[in-house]
Amino acid sequence: MRFMRKQACKPQLPGMTATELTALLTQWGEPRFRAKQILDWRNKGILKPGLMSNLPIHLRNYLEKFVDCCPLRLVRRETSRDGTRKYVFSLHSPRMSGKMIESVMIPENNRVTVCLSSQVGCVLDCPFCHTGTQGFTGNLNKGEIIAQVLGIMQDLNEDPLPPDLHQNVTHIVYMGMGEPLANESGVHGSLALLLDPEGLNISRRRITVSTSGLIPQIERLGAHYPVNLAISLHAADDKLRDVLVPINRKYPLADLRRCLDRFPLGHQRHITLEYVLLDQVNDRECDLEALSRFVRPHRERVNLIQFNPYPGSPYSGTPKERMNEFAQRLISKGIRATVRRSRGQDIMAACGQLKADVANKMGHRVSGEEN
């Protein structure tokens, strides 16, 4: 193997394409097939070179020394009564050293969905969202985003779900901490790896990116990575949405409407309009009528979301009975509407509750173990 100086900024194994890894191994004088061997391990969630048993010792040592194989460290895992698992990861790159992010795994009979974070905190300041109270520290790169999926895959290998549930990650949603489309570099790079047949090879029909409505970024997403799109709408009146979703002041509803009309949709696909119901805030008759006027029933569906409380929140959620009534009223107008079942609320893993905080209840602590 050729001599190589220690790099100032190591490439991250979770974020490497086959081409990039092959080029690196070629510099080291290694045969090309070693790249496939390493990627086979990585794509199973195995990131520690010492566990890559078909690699020669010298190559494992070089990976340990010159590649950042595990850019995240699992600090703790909490498990909800409903089986949802929340993961708190610590970052160790120089720009993010010691910062925390949270990811969520939601198991079901026929799927396992992983909810990814794209930022440390969030650039937006939606007043009903716990993440927004954390402020914004920085964007995750593609390796740090993909490492969340791989860390959860490893956890499922080591601690399988009950046998009646699906065991493998099948669906990805960018709905964790942060505004995904405010981090185009990291999100686009991670989407490329998720979709890559030599990467995690997940169908674009099983990937959803959620955004509060950054119009130029939505257009670029549709042009380059036309995955499923979800819009954090929460109000269909500009005056109210300016308060609940402040980015609306820059990209108002009329502009968002035109953007959504142009977004490319595959056969039998639709855009999801996410709507957290807040008691006597956006659940009134006038709010329902405004929402009904905004929706294009042939292209969109409405996902009504229970408000998940957090300490210090000024809001309360719409009672379940009125949520169901709101949904039925939309359905009577020809709009596809569902009430999302809240998962992981007891461990602060539900929609709008994520906020990495090492002072929280420790749950299943795994500090000191790397994913």
Catalytic residues: 102, 351
CA distance 301 to 156: 32
For tokens 């020809």, name the residue.
334
**Residue 82 phi, psi (nearest 5):** -90, 5
Query: Cα 157 to chain center, whole Å?
Result: 21
* Residue 193 Rama label (left phi>0; alpha psi -120 to 50; beta): alpha
What does the CA dihedral 192, 203, 39, 10 come to, rounded to 10 degrees?
A: 30
Tokens of 133: 């109270």
| Cβ atoms < 10 Å from Cβ of 358 | 12
The tokens for 183 are: 């981090």
**φ/ψ of residue 96, rounded to 5:** -130, 15
- The DSSP result for 295-353, as a single string, is --TTTEEEEEEE----TT-S--BPPHHHHHHHHHHHHHTT-EEEEEPP-SGGGT-STT-
